[in-house]
Chains A and B, each alone.
Chain A
Amino acid sequence: MAEEKAEVNAVRKLTATLGTNLDGIVPAVKKFIREKDEALGRSS
């Protein structure tokens, strides 16, 4: 059996954490960053 690439394993973890598929990972992370920054800005 071919050795699994580390990136494939990382994506598997990310899809499980974010509840999205491969295509949704980057937009989801960007959304979290944006919302975190907005929330911090508005609560200060």
Chain B
Amino acid sequence: MDKKALITELQKDYKKYWGVRLFDEQGFVRKQCTSCRAYFWTVDAERTVCTEAPCTPYSFIGIRRKDWDYYETWKNVERFFVKNGHTSVPRYPVICRWRPDLFFTVASIIDFQRKTPKGVEFFLPQNPLIVPQVCLRFNDLPNIGVTGRHHSCFIMLGQHAIPQGGKGYWKDETVRLDWEVLTNVMGIRPDQIVFKEDAWAGGGAAGYSLEYHVAGLELGNAVFTEFREAGGGLEKMQTPVVDMGAGFDRWVWYLNGTLTSYDSAFGPVLEKMKKHIDYDGETFARYSRISGSLNFEDLLDARKAKADVAASLGLTADELTKKIGGLQAVYTIADHAKALLFALNDGGLPSTVGGGYNLRVVLRRAQALIEEHALPFTLTDVMEWHARSLTRMHPELRVDERIRDIVETEIRKSTDTRTKVRKRVDSLIDSKQKITDEMLVTLYDSEGITPEVIEDEAKKNGLDVNVPADFYARVTEKHMETAPEKKAARFDTSALAQTKQLCYTDVMEHDATVQGVSGEWVVLDQSAFYPEGGGQMYDTGTIGGVRVTDVQKENGIVFHKVEKPETFATGDRVKCRVDHARRTQLTQHHDATHIINGCARRVLGTHAWQHGALKDVTHARIDITHYKPLTDAELHEIERCANDVVSSKKRIRKSVHPTAEAEKNYSFTIYQGGVPWGDLRIVDIDGHDIEACGGTHADTTASVGKIIVTGTERVQDGIVRINFVAGDAADKYEDRCTAVVDELAELLKVQKERVPEEVEKLIVEWKAAQKSLEKSIEERAQQATRNMQFENAGGVRLLVAHVAGDTKQMQKISERLTSDDTLIFLFGEDTTDVPVFAAAGANAARDYHVGKLIKEMFGVMGGKGGGTPVLAQGVMPRMRVMEAMEWLKKRLK
């Protein structure tokens, strides 16, 4: 159900949903706004319009109501709620690690939502609570810096409660508390506060809400989430939730009455920045009072709105930009720098991966504005100023060496990208190739070049590129594509009980009863076989002496693929044996994966987050988020760290905890391998690495044996892969290394120690030989073309000739001879099949398609090949070459 339909439905009984005790006690009346037609509640019986802009323009600017800065405002609000029985919970990270469907924490309630197979579920660690949740939203970028109130990074003051078990509260108490905050703590006159009726629906839940508006500004929205979507309609939830979210930056703005919310939120930072720009303060003061009505969806919309606002100030859009453009740039830079400060401190990275793209956009946008306005500070300077200014509220924020490196690397990438795009577009223009949607996706995925940049560059060169409207949706879809699900079997599982899993015990041999057989798959009542999962490959072994070749799990039932399924029948008692050596190896690789993950975070920084992993028998790998290729020194350091963890014989503890307890005790880093639901099995390598994990693990790191990092590769922008081997696989890898080096020593006829050096020398010699060959081909082509004669035929200059050399040689000859009006057909030399090469100049290609011509010739003379209108090649029988040359001449005359 959409929001509008929901409001209409609920307003049939408005008192039931929006009526609260406070309204009766304080004599509120329900009105309909004569401007926007929305229903609202007020103590002012004379009021005809609501107090939301533009129905009521901003009327708080220029009035300082409290002498509180950002931090003091929070402390006063926090004190009030704590006094009224709330627990003040520290903010959650802005990178939303606990919701696989979200990249960023976009609202305070997100902290307390978890995705479950049934949908979104709410749980509060304390009830009731408040949280100053820092949120990131990137859907309003054109408004930021312009409207005075839009931010990409803001604090949502969350007030949350669940009325259950004598704790929490519902709408009467919510509105009473918020009324007291607004009137008693913030000192707002009751008649200035309007409560607007609204509703909210999303993520499978819905509720009615009251928005709080004062002097043109929305100060909060209390959503009473009471329904869940079911069967096309709504049903009541078992545990309704109070979700009051207030834009805290607006509270500070209202109390300080500054021209924009940026001035009250970024105060000391802006002071440093404004010194370096020229702007007309008087024009901006007039502008800021009407900017409350600005809110645009896209750039076209923005241009029009800007022109309208400028006209209302008696200016043209250009004049307005000249007077206040610098100031708006500074506001934008300050906003984006703050978003980056929180995101990078919480482990985010600019990239093309997921939300990393949003971070890339704001970083490049801020940097472009710094360059455009020739500002004498860097983006990291602004981040540093924010960190200092926010230190009382957020002492955890740092701009350390790593964060500087991330930002500087991204700026360098951006510069490189611009150069790369220019070159790439130039080459596409030269080759007359059309830039297809697939090319745009490849360039974006593999090189991080956004389609907008290509479009701009192409336009400058007169090339038309149309970026599909759903480009990013397509890319996302591509990234969401997963391998086809490995279906265990077409079992009717309804009659089967869940398999008792023994793979987390030491049991490797046991008896079991066959529960069912379908195709090649057998289900047992209990099983020690580990089913493939979490990147760890499945166990093998035998059941009743028959080989098990695959093990999968679905809905709690373990399916065993066997070589002779016909030997099993339901009810059979069987003896099961797990291949111990394979299991040990897989376990060593799984333990090593956790160890390397922990080491990567220590060596590279906390942004290094597991993106994927594979633990097979012969090799293993872990993909991690990182902003540049790993150096040899970093790999060596990770390997050293990993082997230190092994030799220090750390305990590996496995324990099961409820989600809330696990998150509280171990933080969100437990979700490195994904976000499971329900009770979490925590694998803790003595604090070195702690993850929720369903894999097999030993009891001590000593069991892992040697770990060798065998190499690294770039998986995609922002993701690097570390390949490694551990335990027995490491020993075998060493043996294979020895064999390879021995073979090369023999091949190159050098001592083993000199093999790497000798291979480098070989490559240098190979390059020199290729260069010498190129030179020789060029010289021969020069010689060959001396005596070649064109003849006029069918409006073009035609050359049909026999030349010495291969296709490469013929191509070189053709390059030297081709001009706009030439058609060239060259026949090479060989004992059996003769290479044929054809080329047409630009004008000749309008009348002749050489690809089709040689295809036609091969049809008559034998041979195979083809090509484009301008280039073609193929091979044909040597015996018919002379005949073919004559055929061509006749065909074209």
Interface residue ranges, A against B (CB under 8 Å):
1-2, 4-8, 10-18, 21-22, 25-26, 29-30, 32-33, 35-36, 39-40, 42-43
Contacts and interface: CB of A to CB of B under 8 A. Distances in A.
A1 B701 CA distance: 13
Nearest to A31: B766
24 contacts: A1-B640, A1-B643, A2-B643, A5-B734, A7-B734, A8-B708, A8-B737, A10-B737, A10-B741, A10-B756, A11-B741, A12-B711, A13-B756, A18-B759, A22-B710, A22-B733, A22-B737, A29-B759, A32-B763, A36-B762, A40-B769, A42-B776, A43-B773, A43-B775
Given A7-B738, A11-B741, A12-B710, A42 B773 contact: yes
B87 to A, nearest CB: 47
Contacts of A29: 744, 747-748, 759, 762
Contacts of B733: 8, 22
Given A7-B741, A26-B744, A30-B747, A17 B759 contact: yes
Query: Which residue among B643, B644, B769 has the maximum number of chain A CB atoms within 10 Å of its CB?
Result: B769
A23 B644 CA distance: 28
Nearest to A44: B776
Contacts of B770: 35, 39
Interface in B716-775: 723, 733-734, 736-738, 740-741, 743-744, 747-748, 752-753, 755-756, 759-760, 762-763, 765-766, 769-770, 772-773, 775
B766 A35 contact: yes
B752 A7 contact: yes
B647 interface: yes
A21 B723 CA distance: 10
B706 interface: yes
Contact of B773 (A14, A22, A39): A39
A6 B738 CA distance: 9
A17 B708 contact: no
A12 to B, nearest CB: 7
Given A1-B647, A10-B756, A43-B773, A21 B711 contact: yes
Contacts of A14: 740, 744, 755-756, 759
B458 to A, nearest CB: 31
Contacts of B723: 21
B706 A2 contact: yes
Nearest to B742: A7
Given A17-B760, A26-B744, A10 B776 contact: no
Given A39-B772, A43-B773, A43-B776, A8 B734 contact: yes
Contacts of B769: 35-36, 39-40, 43
B444 to A, nearest CB: 24
A18 to B, nearest CB: 7
Nearest to B740: A25
Contacts of B738: 5, 7
Judged by DSSP, the binding face of B is: helix
Given A1-B643, A11-B710, A42-B773, 7 more contacts: A6-B752, A10-B752, A10-B756, A32-B759, A35-B770, A39-B769, A40-B772
A4 B775 CA distance: 45
A9 to B, nearest CB: 9
B766 A32 contact: yes
Interface in B754-808: 755-756, 759-760, 762-763, 765-766, 769-770, 772-773, 775-777
Contacts of B765: 36
Interface string B826-851: 00000000000000000000000000
Contacts of A10: 737, 741, 752-753, 755-756
B711 A15 contact: yes
B741 A17 contact: no
A39 B748 CA distance: 18
Interface in B234-255: none
B755 to A, nearest CB: 6
Given A12-B710, A36-B769, A26 B762 contact: no
The 4 A-B residue pairs whose C-beta atoms are closest, nearest first, are A39-B769, A43-B776, A1-B643, A7-B737
Nearest to B748: A29
Interface in B571-606: none
A5 B646 CA distance: 18
A26 B723 CA distance: 20
A19 to B, nearest CB: 9
B108 to A, nearest CB: 47
B763 A17 contact: yes
B408 to A, nearest CB: 25
Contacts of A16: 632, 711
A7 B734 CA distance: 7
Query: Which residue among A18, A33, A43 has the maximum number of chain B CB atoms within 10 Å of its CB?
Result: A43
A25 B744 contact: yes
Contacts of B644: 1
A23 to B, nearest CB: 8
A32 B752 CA distance: 19
A32 B755 CA distance: 14
Contacts of A21: 710-711, 723
A15 B836 CA distance: 39
A22 B776 contact: no
A26 B734 CA distance: 16
A22 B711 CA distance: 10
A5 B731 CA distance: 10
A23 B777 CA distance: 34
A16 B744 CA distance: 16
A2 to B, nearest CB: 5
Contacts of A43: 769, 772-773, 775-777
A36 B768 CA distance: 9
Nearest to A30: B747
A24 to B, nearest CB: 10
Contacts of A26: 740, 743-744, 747
A7 B640 CA distance: 17
Contacts of B741: 7, 10-11
A4 to B, nearest CB: 8
A30 B740 CA distance: 12
Contact of A11 (B740, B748, B775): B740
A20 to B, nearest CB: 10
Contacts of A4: 708
Nearest to B741: A7
A37 to B, nearest CB: 8
Nearest to A34: B766
A30 B746 CA distance: 12
Contacts of B759: 14, 17-18, 29, 32
A16 B709 CA distance: 13
Nearest to B769: A39
A15 B737 CA distance: 11
A8 B723 CA distance: 14
A8 B744 CA distance: 14
A36 B766 contact: yes
Contacts of A8: 708, 733-734, 737
B799 to A, nearest CB: 24
Contacts of B710: 11-12, 15, 21-22
A42 B711 CA distance: 37
A18 B20 CA distance: 73
A30 B769 CA distance: 15
A15 B734 CA distance: 14
Contacts of B763: 17, 32
Contacts of A12: 632, 710-711
A27 to B, nearest CB: 11
Contacts of B708: 4, 8
B737 A17 contact: no
Nearest to A13: B756
